[in-house]
Amino acid sequence: MRSYWFWILMLGTAWTLGLIQLSMDVSEMPFRIFGSAIFFGLFFLMPLLKRMPLLALLNLMGMAALAIWIFWPAPGSPMNLYPLLIFPIIAGKAVYRLSVQGSVIIGIVLLAGALLHSLAGDSDISPIFILLYALLLGAALLFFRKSYIFEDGLLERNEALLSEYRKMKRRLLTDERAARQEERTQIARDIHDSVGHKLTALLMQLEVFRLQADGDTAEGLQDLKSLAKESLEETRSAVKTLKHDEAGGVTAIIGLIRKLEAESFLRIQFSVKHGALSAPLGNEQMVIVYRAVQEALTNIMRHSPAREAEIVFEAPGGSIFRFTVSNKTGETSPFREGFGLSSMRERVEQSGGAFKAGPENGLFIVKGSLPLIVKESDLE
C-alpha cells in the first residue's frame, strides 16, 4: 500500500511538472487537463482489474495513448524530459500487472509514441537516444519481472512450508498427548488392579478380624479399617484423575501459550504472582482455569486487531485463586457476551467463583476467581 502511494506521488509530480513545461495555447489547456483527469481515473481503476487481464490491458493502453496525446509537444517548444519519467511508470505498471505479451504491447505503444514525438520534428530528443533509453528501461523491467516472479515463488513455497510445519507440530502434539494419555491409562489400570484389589482384600480381612475381636482390639481394628477405606477412596480418586483426559493446570496453560505464539504469532506475557503456583486447586478447578484462558485467547485471535495479550495468575491471601486475561482493543461498540464466555461464566459460578468479562479503560479483560480448598493442617 505504501509503494502504491509512493508511485502515485511520483507520477503526479512528474505529470504536473510536465504540463507546466509544455508550451500550449490557452484553448488547448482545458482539453489536456480533462485528459489528465481521465488518465488518473484509469490509474486508480487498475487495482480493481487485477483478475481481469483483458480489461487491465485495455485500461493501460488507454493510459498510454492519453499520456502520448497530452504530452505531444507544440512545434518549437523547449525540450520536455518529464514524459521520459511518466512513460516508464506506465511500463512498470504493465510489467507488474500484465503478462509478458501484454507488457510488450504497452511497451511498443509507448515507444511508438515517444518516437513519433521525435520523428514529427516537434521534440528535440533524438530518436537514437529514445531507442537506447527504451532498451535500457526494457532490460531493467525484465530484471524486475524475473526478480518479482522469483520472490513470489519463494513466498508461495514459504507459505506451503509454514503450513506443513504447523500441520507437523499439531500432529506431533496430538501424538504426544495420545501417548501420554495411553501411559496414564496404563498406570491407572495397574494401580487399580494391584493396589486397589489389595486394599479391598485388606478391608475384608480387617472386617473379619474385627468381628472376631472384642473390646479395645475391635475398636483398634475399626480405626485401621477406616484408614484402609480412606486409602482405597484416595486410590480410586487418583485412578480417576489419571484417566481424566481433559487438560488443566499451569503446565497445560504454558503449553497452550507456546502453541499460540508459534502457530498464531500471538505475543503473550504470562505473569505468576506469589502463591499462585502453590495454590491448592482441585482438578476440576484447574480445568476451569485452562478453559477460561483458552477461550479468552481464542477470542483475541478472532476479534482483536492487537496480536498481544497479558495473563496474570495470583492467589491473594491464600483463600482464592484469581486469573486475568487482558488485551488492548480499539473497539467502542457495545459488548455482548457470546456463547463461549457465557459457558465459562456458568462453569466458574457453579464452582463457587466469580467471573467477569468486558471492556475496561481501553482493554478487554476476562477475569475470574475460584475459592481455594483450605486444609485443616494449614489452619493449625
How far, in Å, are 310, 364, 370 from residue 313 at the CA level?
Answer: 10, 17, 11
Is beta strand 354-360 parallel, antiparallel or unpaired with respect to 363-371? antiparallel
- Cα–Cα distance for residue pair 62/66, rounded to 1 Å: 6
For the record, the C-alpha cell of 273 comes out as 504472582
The reported pLDDT for the residue numbered 377 is 43
| SS3 of 207-227 | HHHHHHCCCHHHHHHHHHHHH
pLDDT value, residue 324: 92
DSSP code string of 154-222: HHHHHHHHHHHHHHHHHHHHHHHHHHHHHHHHHHHHHHIIIIIHHHHHHHHHHHHHHHH--THHHHHHH
User: Hey, is 246 helix, strand or coil?
Assistant: coil
Query: Cα separation of 19 and 66, whole Å?
Result: 13
**328 strand-pairing partners:** 363
pTM: 0.45
- Say if CB 301 and CB 295 are below 8 A apart: no
For residues 35 and 110, give the distance between their C-alpha atoms in angstroms, rounded to a whole number.
Answer: 17
Grid cell listed for 99: 503478462
- Residue 62: is it exposed, middle or buried by C-beta count within 10 angstroms (0-12/13-18/19+)? middle
pLDDT at 379: 41
Q: Which DSSP string do the residues of 58-120 spell out, in sequence order?
A: HHHHHHHHHHHHHTPPPTTPPP--THHHHHHHHHHHHHHHS-HHHHHHHHHHHHHHHHHHHHT
Give the span between the Cα atoms of 68 and 89, in whole angstroms. Answer: 13
Q: Can you tell me whether residue 326 is helix, strand or coil?
A: strand
Nearest to 298 by CA among 357, 258, 361, 340: 340
Helix (H, G, I), strand (E, B) or coil at 265: coil
**Rg of the chain (C-alpha set):** 38
Cα end-to-end span (Å), the chain: 68
Residue 76: its pLDDT value, please? 65
pLDDT number for residue 378: 47
Q: What is the DSSP letter of 257?
A: H
Q: Name the DSSP class of 51.
A: T
- What's the one-letter identity of residue 192? H
pLDDT along the chain (380 residues), means of 10: 77 86 75 88 85 89 88 72 86 86 89 78 72 87 85 84 76 70 72 73 79 79 80 74 57 74 76 80 81 84 79 85 86 71 87 88 88 56
DSSP state of 333: S
Tell me whether strands 308-314 and 267-272 are parallel, antiparallel or unpaired. parallel
